[in-house]
Amino acid sequence: VVLGGPFLPHIEHIIRDKAVTMDSPIVSACDTGNRCTVKSFSIHNGRPCQLCDIVIQVVKDLKLSCELLDVKLQMLGDHQLQNAATATCVALCLRNLGWSISDESIRSGLEHTYLLGRSQFLTSEEVEVLGLTGATVLLDGAHTEDSAKALVNTIRMAFPKARLTFVVAMASDKDHVGFAREILSGVHVETVLLTEAAIAGGATRTTPASLLRDSWIKASDEHGIEIVHDGMTEYSELLKEQPVGSENNFGDGKTILAIEPSLMGCLRTAQKILTRRGDEKGVIVFTGSLHIAASVLALATHRSYITTHKIIWVLSYCDGITKKFSKIWSLTMDP
């Protein structure tokens, strides 16, 4: 049994007890002998990556060891590093069973791993297609409080001083206020564009952008964050055409909140904001749903060989494979 984690103590206790009853050896990616650290962030093959050390030294139940230094992970964040450590432990267990897996093969697998819509940075060519030349564009299907917190931590680590624009679309069954609360409490967001994305090919489960705005206003009030929304005169003044770079303090420190019903409208507004910043391009984050990520990917790839429907299928398929793989290598029990 390979444990990822870290788990709450009582959850890990349940899993370990179950493993003992099945006479299964236990390998924990969080073992005290393991050392996983993020050393720095850099650009590799045109995409941001985190340079990490992954050192595994397991002595209980099974003896496993591996030292991977300066691994370039395309998937950013502490949680992704922990996932990489867990995957490394799985590979080492297979090697212990007789599989021929070298350390370099493990490194190569980790460095080439990415998931569509999960901590995914678009290439400069894809960004240019969207009309956002020079910006860093991040797609992340975060849609819960926990995933929003992980997203914020990733941004804070990789781009601590970046000017942030969030484009958000969500399904109707999510905690919209909780999601907004995690984003706003974790980083200073300059602009939030609230939009709508078709879910399962229709609008039945799509949250209207106006309701999302209400949720973000509520979350900002809770945290005492000053906002300027598109129902205020001040908002229209901000987006008036002015010389590039004429106002570096765009929004004067307040978070700008606006509704853009269509994705194309979001792109136009984001481009206008980028133009006003001059050389300060910042980071644009599309999040709240895998469906908004799929819509952006469809536009970025010219819709030439992949459609939104196909991207959603790929994203769902990857999620399914991940869950099935996880079930093979970990024990889960109903509470």
pLDDT per position as a tens digit, 74-89: 998 888 999 999 999 9
pLDDT beyond 90 at 314:
no
Is residue 51 included in any domain, yes or no?
yes
Tell me the C-alpha to C-alpha distance, in Å, between residue 206 and each of 44, 174, 212, 266: 36, 10, 10, 17
Q: Residue 73: which CATH number?
A: 3.40.1190.10
* pLDDT reported for residue 1: 86
- Whether residue 306 sits in one domain with residue 204: yes
Structure confidence at residue 157 as a pLDDT band (50, 70, 90): confident
The answer on 75 and 149 residing in a single domain is: no
For residue 182, how many other CB atoms are within 10 A of its CB? 22
Structural domain includes residue 320: no
Residue range(s) defining the domain that contains residue 132: 120-314
The CATH number of the domain holding residue 261 is 3.90.190.20
Distance between CA atoms of 213 and 197, rounded to whole angstroms? 15
Assigned domain for 328 exists: no
Strands lying side by side in the sheet with 164-168: 120-121, 136-139, 283-287, 164-168, 191-194, 255-259, 227-229
Coil, strand or helix: which one is 214?
helix
Q: Are residues 99 and 125 in the same domain?
A: no
Run of H or E residues at 74: none
CA 9, chain centre distance (Å)? 26
Considering the domain boundaries, does residue 321 fall inside one? no
**In 3D, which of 157, 140, 128 has the Cα closest to residue 46?**
128
Q: Measure the N-to-C terminal CA separation of the chain; round to a whole number of Å.
A: 19
Q: Are 145 and 175 in contact (CB under 8 A)?
A: yes
Domain match, 192 and 106 both: no
Pair of tokens at residue 284: 């644009």
- What's phi and psi for 240, nearest 5 deg? -65, 145
- 133 and 57 part of one domain: no
Rounded distance between C-alpha atoms, residue 66 and residue 85, angstroms: 10
- Mean pLDDT is lowest, of 15-19, 158-162, 319-323, for 319-323
Q: Note whether 180 and 246 are same-domain residues.
A: yes
- Ranges of beta strands (E only) in 216-330 are 227-229, 255-259, 283-287
Q: How far apart are CA 215 and CA 238, in angstroms?
A: 23
| Residue among 143, 122, 149 nearest 134 (CA) | 122
| Rounded Cα distance, 76 and 81, in Å | 7
- Residue 156 in any domain: the answer is yes
pLDDT exceeds cutoff 60 at 318 = no
Does 281 share its domain with 145?
yes
In a domain, 327, yes or no: no
Same-domain check for residues 70 and 153? no
Closest CA to 150 of 325, 293, 13, 285: 285
Same domain, 130 and 83: no
Provide the pLDDT confidence category of residue 179 given band limits of 50, 70 and 90: very high
Question: Is 142 in the same domain as 11?
Answer: no
The CA distances from residue 232 to 46, 236, 238, 256, 265, in Å, are 39, 7, 10, 10, 19
Domain boundary among 114, 143, 167: 114
Residue among 3, 282, 246 at smallest CA distance from 127? 282
Total number of domains constituting the chain: 2
Q: How far is CA 318 from the centre of its chain?
A: 15
Instruction: Report residue 241's pLDDT band, with 50, 70 and 90 as the boundaries.
Output: low
pLDDT in tens, 194-214: 999 988 777 788 999 999 999
Ramachandran quadrant class, 251 (left: phi over 0; alpha: psi -120 to 50; beta: rest): left
H/E element, 318 = helix 308-329
Is the domain of 28 the same as that of 54? yes
Q: Residue 141: is its pLDDT beyond 50?
A: yes
The total of other beta-carbon atoms located within 10 Å of residue 97's CB is 9
Do residues 299 and 308 make contact, with C-beta atoms less than 8 angstroms apart? no
276 or 214, greater pLDDT: 214
Spatial separation of the C-alpha atoms in residues 9 and 167, rounded to whole Å: 37
Tell me the two tokens of residue 234. 């001040």
Q: Is the pLDDT confidence value at 322 over 90?
A: no
